[in-house]
Structure 1
Amino acid sequence: MRESDPAGKAEGESESEGRIYTETDQGRIKMKEQHSEAENRTELYEDVLLGKKLWTRLYRKLFWNGVSKKQIVKAMLKYIPEDFKGRLLDVPAGTGLFTYRKYSWMRDARIICFDEDGEMLDLAKKRFARDGLDHVTVKKGNCAKLPFRNESFDVVLSIDRLNAVEDKRESLSEMTRVLKKNGRLIGCFYIEGRSGKTDRFVKWFLMKKGWFKGPFETQTSLQLRLSQDYQVTHFHLRGSVVYFCAVKREKLLGREQNKKSRGEKQNVYSSNL
């Protein structure tokens, strides 16, 4: 039996409003609060993307020049045929808010949704399970160190969530590594230098909150990066948001060729996914 203090509480216990909490209780309360915070963050993320609420429409108009992510994603998903039968990597996948309906038409494809945020993947998994999308799997991990073999996907899709990834350039390089030759990279994210108002909002609010992480691409840096290893078929700018479709070249010109060779030599990318 633990030795009690003069007030009658055992060591490791605290009292709040007439109830004694043990360290285990406090740990559970903290975990519950963290889970609730993550749920709120995920709900906020989807509210902003959907733009149905008044405040989200004002937010979009004031800080993003009225750009609708929903309309952008709708245009992007047309780059993937509904009779697609190959392997698709969705990275970072987020909650699957805009993709689960598209994936429901792609029953002959094998789709992997990959993200660093477990809470968002949990919501995506529930969506896919609810609609019986057995051909879609989710996996958590580091986007800058994708656990997949070289040239193992026909399409790599990246919708918006790259803004929250710290090492974007390495993540983009990894996407190139795992994409097959003549495969499609389809992407959408924020770029710097298009709007001073948006750039300031990203720097002083979204980055302070930890929702966005720099450094970010500019239009010029992204076009240069893509031109090294891709034939860009579509490149569109909507305010400070870019969306594009690019086909991987047969012969790589950038550092991805060196990364591919190192990966084969060291045999470090051995996942069967």
Structure 2
Amino acid sequence: MADKIKEAYRASKNIYDDVITQGSLLSKLYIKIFWSGTDDNEIARKVLSYIPESFLGTILDVPVGTAVFTENKWRTLTESKIICLDYSEDMLEKAKQRLKDCSNVSFIQGDVGNLPMEDNTYDIVLSMNGFHAFPDKEKAFRETNRVLKTGGKFIACLYIKGKSSLSDWLVNTILSKKGWFTPPFHTEEELIKILEHMYKDIDIHVDGSMVYFCCTK
């Protein structure tokens, strides 16, 4: 499974940004047809708005992907310490190139299911478009919670099943088989139960088959 995921993101590294940012007409059609027109750019804006412009603490960005959505935000948080982690060396290399001149940002290749950090390390853990790709979601939830400080914020967006039959079909028949997504997937109700067990002050929103939220440990 690990090799399949790495290969999937290696194969898509040159088109990844275009697809998720709807940079071409073909990408726009793909999003409109299969994802009910959900705009990842707008979801990313809302997710990142949970992080104050004046934030001075520590952030774990997992998975960082290519940093296509986070680059501008991380450039403004010059007094924050930001660790960007990804399992895919190809995605991580793209992110490094984007943020190579940011001295407060560092990069680690690693597994979200076994984070190489101590307990209670980060003020914010951010996970954009990650959990639907993680093969062991239970471990990923445990690990991201473990490294987050008490009172810290867990901020994320991810795919949830049961909102669109067309999106679910795409995920199950194509994206999962290629390695971009990894089952099992949660419904909105299942996700809320997981979050309620670990967090408080849960602010959650659904946009098509995507959900984004901020909660407190």
1:128 to 73, 91, 99: 99
- Cα distance between partner residues in 2 of 1:232 and 1:219: 17
Moved more, 230-239 or 133-142: 230-239
1:117 is the counterpart of 2:106:
no
Change in Cα spacing, 1:120 to 1:219, as seen in structure 2 (3 Å) is same
Residue 94 of structure 1 corresponds to which residue in structure 2? 65
Q: Compute the displacement of 1:66 (Å).
A: 0.3
Please give the TM-score of this superposition, normalised by the length of structure 2. 0.94
* 5+ long unaligned stretches in structure 1: 1-36, 249-273
> One-letter code of the match for 2:73?
K
Q: Kindly provide the CA deviation profile for residues 63-121 of structure 1, in whole angstroms up to 9, marking residues without a partner as x.
A: 10000111000011110011111110001111111101101110110000011001100
- Cα distance between partner residues in 2 of 1:38 and 1:198: 20
Residue 113 of structure 2 corresponds to which residue in structure 1? 144
- Cα distance between partner residues in 1 of 2:171 and 2:82: 31
* 5+ long unaligned stretches in structure 2: 1-7
Percent pairwise identity:
39
Residue 243 of structure 1 corresponds to which residue in structure 2? 212
1:169 is the counterpart of 2:138:
yes
- Cα distance between partner residues in 2 of 1:55 and 1:151: 43
Q: Compute the displacement of 1:209 (Å).
A: 1.2
Change in Cα spacing, 1:150 to 1:115, as seen in structure 2 (3 Å) is same
> One-letter code of the match for 1:141?
G
1:188-227 mapped onto 2 (5 Å cutoff): 188-227=157-196
1:78 is the counterpart of 2:49:
yes
Instruction: For CA contacts below 8 A with separation 6 or more, give which structure has more relative contact order.
Output: 2
1:160 is the counterpart of 2:129:
yes
- For the aligned residue pairs, the C-alpha RMSD in angstroms reads 1.6
Residue 179 of structure 1 corresponds to which residue in structure 2? 148
> One-letter code of the match for 2:206?
L
Whichever of the two has the greater Rg, that structure is 1
- The answer to whether the 8 Å contact 2:134/2:182 transfers is yes
| SS state at 2:102 partner | coil
| SS state at 2:13 partner | helix
1:63 to 18, 29, 34: 34
